[in-house]
Amino acid sequence: MNGYVEAGYLAVLGVLAGYSALLLGRSRKAKKALIPVRVKEKKSDPGPTE
């Protein structure tokens, strides 16, 4: 079209896609960090044992 329009759309779609990818990556990392916590919660559920 005229370069500017394309650049505008590209910027919007690019940044949003990039941020989404970042979110997905962080989500995966956070889930991994949560696994030991979850396991422990299940273990320590019945009473205060050690």
- Class of residue 11 by CB neighbours under 10 A (exposed 0-12, middle 13-18, buried 19+): exposed
Q: Does 7 bind another protein (CB under 8 A)?
A: yes
Q: How far is the CB of 3 from another protein (least distance, A)?
A: 8
Q: Does 21 bind another protein (CB under 8 A)?
A: no
Q: Does 49 bind another protein (CB under 8 A)?
A: no
Tokens of 31: 């889930």
Q: Does 26 bind another protein (CB under 8 A)?
A: yes
- Tell me the H-state helices in the chain: 4-43
Q: How far is the CB of 9 from another protein (least distance, A)?
A: 6
